[in-house]
Amino acid sequence: MKNSIWMLGACGMGVGPLAIYLKESGNEVYGWDDSTGSPMENHLANADIPLLKDPWAAGRKPNLIGRSSAVKPGHAALALAEKNQTRVLRRGELLAESVADKKFVAVCGSHGKTTTCGLIISALATVGIDFGYVLGGLFRDPNFAPAHASQKSPWVVAEVDESDGTISHFSPDITVAVNLDWDHPDYYKDEAALEGVFRALFERTTTAVVIPTNNERLERLTRGLKARVIRVGQTGDFTAQLIGANSSQSRLLLGGEFKTAEVSVPVTGAFNRANASMALAVTHLITGAMVSEPLTRWRGIRRRQDILFEREDLLVLADYAHHPTEIAALLKWIKETHEGQLIVIFQPHRHTRTRQYASEFRQALHIADAAFVLPVYSAGEVAMEGGRSDAVVAGSALRLIEDRAELSKIISPLTQGKKTVVAFVGAGDIEHDAENYALILRREGLPVMTLDFGEAIAGKLSANAVIRASEPLDRRTTLGVGGVARWYAEPATVNDIIVLLQAAGELGLPYFVIGRGSNLLVLDEGYDGLIIHLNAEYWGEVKNLGDGRLQMGAGARLKEICGIAARDGLTGFEFLEGIPGTMGGSLRMNAGAMGSWIFDRVESIDWLTPRGIHRSANRNCFDAMYRDCPQLHGAVILSAVLKSTGKESLEKIRQTMDEMSQKRRSSQPRDPSAGCVFKNPDENHAGRLIESAGLKGTHIGAAEVSNIHGNFIINKGDATAKDVLALMKQVRAKVQHEKHQLLQPEIIVLGKEWKDLL
C-alpha cells in the first residue's frame, strides 16, 4: 500500500534524497523545511515534491511523517502531526522500512560513507544495470539525482547513519564498513556502545560484510560472523594496488577476486583510492563484472573537495570533513596533490564532539601552514564547558576568529605573493563563508581558470537571445536598488532556456527568473549567478482560446492582460489592474489584490523544471498559498491558461477596474517600492501594526516607511539595499517590542535567506 508522506527537513541531505526515493516508489510525497535555499530544493522540484508548512490545510491528509533527527520534539511541525494523530518515523527508521523487502547494500562508517556510497552508485551506473539508491548528499553532476527507485531491480544502495541509533533498524544483504572511529558522544555513552551497534549490524547482514584491510577495530568486530567477511585493499580478497597517479586520477592494478586488470579511477589520495576500491568490489559482488573504465559516471560529491575558485597562484576549496581523522586525511591529500602553502579555516561541528576531540582537532590542523577556527556550529546543542572553539586553539598557534565578516581581511594578506590553497572545512554552515570569500575574489576581477558560463553556452543560443555579463539590476526592479548580476539572459525560445538551465546546473551557477522585479530586494553586492528575464517580445503573447479562457505567456504584463480581458468582455481579471508584475512572477508568488488571487483564475500551467524538463499540470496539482506556490520553486514558467468568471460589457468591466484603481491610488504610494514588505500575521495586518507603532515616515538614508501605507518601504531617490535592510530591521524590532508580533518578510531577497539578514 502506498502512503501519503510529509517529510520534515526535506531540504537537508538526509531527508531530501529519501523523499525523492519514496516519490519514485509511487508514494504521494511533500516536504517541509524551516531553512530553504538549499540546492536540494531544485531536486525536490524536479521530482514534483512541493514544500508545505501544513499539508492538512492544503486539503491533504498524510498518513506518515518522516523527519530528520534535527527536528526535535516540541517543534510546530511535530505538534501538527501529533494533533492529527499521524505516525512519525525518523529518517533512518523510514529508510529501513522502505528497503525491508529489497536486496539492500548498507554503507556505514564514521566518515567517507557518502563518498563511498556515491562511488558504488557511479560504478553500478557505469556497468549499466538497473538498481535503486539513496545518497546522503548531492552529486556534482546536476543530472545525477540524489536518489532513484527502480521498478524492476531488487537492489538498493544507501548509507545508514549511526549518529541517532537508527542504524539498528537495518538488516542488509551487503554491509560496507568504510571505517569506524569513536564519535557521537551525545548519543552513545561510551565507545563500547558505538561498537555494539556496528557489531549488531554486521550480525544482521545476510551475505557479506566488506571492510578495508588492516583495520584492527573492524577486524575485531567482524570475527565469527555467519556472513562472509570480504577485505579490500592492497592485500585481501579484492586487491587494488597503486601504479601511478596525477592530480586528477589514479591508475590501479586490480587482482585477487577481481579479474586481473589495470584501470583508471578519477580520484586521488589514499583515502579516496581506498573508497573507490571498495566500490569496485561491491559492484563485482552484485554484477560479477567490471568494465575497463569503471567510474566514468563519477564527478564527485558536492561539499567534498569542492573547488570554488582557481587561478594560477590561488585555489579555494570547501570540504564537509568534521572528524579529526577525516580532517587529517583531507589536509594530507591537499599537501600531497597541491603545491604551495595551505591555509585552513575550520568550523567545529557540535559542542559534544568539540569537547571530546579538541586536542585531536588541534593536532590535525597542525598539518596546515596556518589555521583559523570559527565558533562551533551547535546543531541545536547547548554550549558546554570544554566544548567551545577556544578549547581547540588553546595553547597552540591556531587562531580563533569570532567575527566571520573579518575572514577575507585576515586571509587575503597571507596569500599575497605565495602559491596558496585556502581550505574551508566543516559540516555546519561554513560553506557560506567559503562561497562569500570566493565571491569576493571573483569581484576583484582576477582571471578565473574554471570553465566560464559564457563558454558553456557559446553557440548554443538562438540568434535573438540576449546574454550579458555584469548587468545592473537596480533598473530591473520596482524598488530601484541593488548591484549587478554576474550573468543576465533574455532567452527567445524554450530551447534557449533549457541551454541556460543545463549550463547553470553543470557549473553550479545559481539562477533566478525575474519579471518586472516587484516583490524583490537585490542586495548592494548584487547577485553572483544568472538572471533569466522573459521579455514580452517573445513571451508576452495573450490568446483568447474561447469559452472564457485566455492563454498567456509568462512575460505578459498583468495590466495588459487586464486590458485584453476587458476588450473581450471577460470578467474576473479586474483585480490584476495595477499589480506591477508579469504572469510568471504572479504565479510564483500567487499574486493577489482586492480579495482575489491569481490562482483563483488558473486552469493550467506550463513550465520547465530546474533540469529543463517540460511539465504541464492542471490547477488541482498546485498548492497555492499566501504569496507562494511550492510546486513552482526553481521553475521557469512558460505560460498559463486562465479562465474568466463570466461575460460583461467593456464599460462595466472598465468601471470595476477604475474603482479598483482609485482604491489602490488612495491607499498605496506611487514612489518606487517592492510592494508590501511584510506578510500579514494571522488575523491582523502588517501595515496596521507598523502604523500603530508610530513608524510611518521613519527613514534610513533615502529608504522610508510610506506615510500612505505602513507596509511599503519607498525609495525617495538614491536609497541602497543596505538602507532598506536597516529600516526593515528597525520596523521589525519596534513592532515586536510594542505589539508582540514578529513580522516575516513577504518580499524575496535575491541570493540570500532572510534568516541570515534580519
Would you name the residues annotated as active-site residues? 627, 676, 746
- Identity of residue 703: A
d(CA 118, CA 14): 14
CA distances from 531 to 492, 510, 640 (A): 14, 9, 21
How far is the first Cα of the chain from the last one, in angstroms, to the nearest whole number?
Answer: 45
d(CA 377, CA 695): 36
Which residue, among 660, 646, 643, has the nearest Cα to 569 in the 3D structure? 646
Give 24's contacts (C-beta < 8 A, 6+ positions apart).
47, 147, 148, 149
d(CA 241, CA 222): 24
Report the b/e string of 670-705 with b at 16+ CB within 10 A: ebbbbbbbbbbbeeeebbebbbebebbebebbebbb
d(CA 298, CA 267): 9
d(CA 53, CA 682): 15
Distance, CA of 57 to chain centre:
25
The full length of the chain comes to: 758
> Residue 64 forms beta bridges with which residues?
5, 87
Helix (H) or strand (E) holding 340, with range, is none
Contact 197, 182 (CB under 8 A): no
Give the residue carrying C-alpha cell 575550520: 346
Distance, CA of 406 to chain centre:
26
Contact 30, 51 (CB under 8 A): yes
d(CA 201, CA 193): 13
d(CA 423, CA 305): 9
DSSP string, 150-188: -SS--EEEEE---TTSGGGG---SEEEE-------TTT-
